[in-house]
Amino acid sequence: MFINHGDYSNIMSEIIKMKCPFCKEGDIKVLHIKASYSETRARAASNTKTIPVYHKAKEEALSDCSKCGKTQKEMNRIFREGKQVSCKDAVKRAEESGLPTKF
């Protein structure tokens, strides 16, 4: 009987390769943790409620960027804040929503 622990760990997370959020050129290794639900019990007065807790998917950088030299720490800050650093994207979004784009 074989138990493949490797498969099991892939259920909740996987290691993916993605472009560096800073320079968009270098490849970085990222641990992608999938969104999940867990339950927590809250005791309110007389009845006990089960409250589902949603855990958002998150990314964690596992390597530094070889192109621009940004560190895992800096990548993780971007992932946590969910910010896009590209101003081009912002211009594009503004154009799509019909706003004047003078930067």
Which residues would be at the binding site for Zn ion (CB under 5 A)? 20, 22-23, 26, 65, 67-68
Of 34 and 83, CB closest to Zn ion: 83
Rg (CA), the chain: 20
In the complex, what is the shortest distance from the CB of residue 28 to Zn ion, in angstroms, rounded to a whole number?
A: 7
- Name the residue nearer to Zn ion (CB basis): 6 or 82: 82
Rounded to a whole number, what is the distance in angstroms from the first to the last CA of the chain?
64
Nearer to Zn ion, 23 or 33 (CB): 23
Shortest reach from residue 34's CB to Zn ion, in Å: 25
Q: Which residues of 56-93 are buried (b: 16+ CB within 10 A; e: fewer)?
A: eebbbbeebbeeeebebebbbebeeeeeeeeeeeeeee
Closer to Zn ion by Cβ: residue 24 or 80? 24
Residue 33 and residue 12 in contact, taking contact as beta carbons nearer than 8 Å: yes
Q: Smallest distance, Å, CB 73 to Zn ion?
A: 13
Nearest-approach distance from CB 68 to Zn ion, in angstroms = 3
In angstroms, the CA 22 to CA 62 distance is 15
